[in-house]
Structure 1
Amino acid sequence: MAELTKIESKIGEVTGLAMAAQAATKKVSGLAKKEHPELVSRLEKMHDEAAETERRCTELAGTFEGKKTAILEEARTTKGKGADMMSTYLDEDSDALDGFEFLTMAEAGEVGHWSVLKALNKKAGSAEIRQLVAWALPIQQSHLRGVTETSLELASEDDPNAPA
């Protein structure tokens, strides 16, 4: 398999995070729908945006001659790490707040990875990467703000003295 540069590897990572985000939003939707059905449409929108991010990233990966397979393998590895984190953090006792706390961590990671890709591309100067980052980073920042706000709203509804 082709050896990847740092920027190609980072493209694989953000692709994998988009894949993992689709699974995470689906899982958290399941946690939220019973107690907080009003949150499901927001999670579905995030899921759809993650799917579009994956599509655009995969399209970009195809522009690196002889590297698409390796970039997508990096993506699958990253997706697997995200799935491991999710299964560790969210168990059968998890509720909507737990789900949104997990999404807060996950979205912060996505914002960080997209920001690093942007920084790497300052030297690389790829117009295609610049366009993708300009599209994706604001979406990820919006997701982070949204899940953080929702976590805080859900926490404010909780009884802090109730048994964990």
Structure 2
Amino acid sequence: MTTDRITRERGAPTMSRPPVPPFTTEEDARKKVQAAEDAWNTRDPQRVALAYTPDSVWRNRGDFITGREEIIEFLTRKWEREQDYALRKELWGFRENRMAVRFHYEWNDAAGQWWRSYGNELWEFDAEGLMRRREASINDIRIDEADRRIFGPRPEEERGRSIPLA
């Protein structure tokens, strides 16, 4: 569940996405990562985009994306192509307003071929806890449907557990 809050900065309302930097405890950093995983598993580009600053900068594989509108357009195309998308993220490290995250997700294409995508992300947050920079490196491997490991959002009993690489 998102715990957004509205704050006032220079008289104008701004959205806050707790926990906010500086990240000083592993618990807060893990909460941030789990919130991102939960949002991405909705496959709702509008909802996901709200976690990013209006001028957020992304590098996603070879795509360079700037701002929420481009994020929404990118995610809309992504989830049209990557059907039955289901994701797991894991905290790798954190300091002040930055995090390193590893992840994998599974999806199938229009031909019914299943894929597992592995990657690493570097995140940078503003003072309100919105992500202002995201850099993602991702590799895809074909898998058989019988080899799938992810079936929808993470069940409650699996939260906080490490994700296997192989």
Q: TM-score, normalised by structure 1?
A: 0.26
Q: Quick one: higher RCO (CA 8 Å, sep 6+), 1 or 2?
A: 1
Q: TM-score, normalised by structure 2?
A: 0.25
1 or 2, which has the higher helix percentage?
Answer: 1
1 or 2, which has the higher strand percentage?
Answer: 2
Point out the structure with max Rg over C-alpha.
Answer: 1
